[in-house]
Amino acid sequence: MTVNRENIFQFINFCRSHIQGGERGDAQPFLGGFFKAFAYEGALQAGAKFELPIPKSSLRGNTGFADRDDISSAEILNILSSIYSG
């Protein structure tokens, strides 16, 4: 697969139809589709890591996880739409 506008729009439409915004249930399908839209076989093949464990990093001193939740999938879709719709 090569990167082109059609692949990006297919990904955007997939997300609008199937991604509901739940972090646990939607993160991996979202990222898998995202990287496929950019011509990778999948998220792991692109080098993505999901919630890396970090010992003693939680508030209680237990293992925490490195993940980002300050940008939503909807915000990413809006950015992609604005870039590729022009």
The string of pLDDT tens digits covering residues 30-57 is: 888 989 998 899 888 888 877 777 888 7
Q: Where are the alpha helices (DSSP H) in the chain?
A: 5-18, 23-37, 73-84
Residue 66 neighbours by CB under 8 Å, 6+ apart: 49, 51, 52, 53, 54
pLDDT of 69: 59
Checking if the pLDDT of 58 tops 80, the result is no
Residues 61/15, Cβ–Cβ less than 8 Å:
no
Share the mean pLDDT of the chain: 80
Burial 15-45 (b: 16+ CB within 10 A, else e): beeebeeeeeeebeebbbbbbbbeebeebee
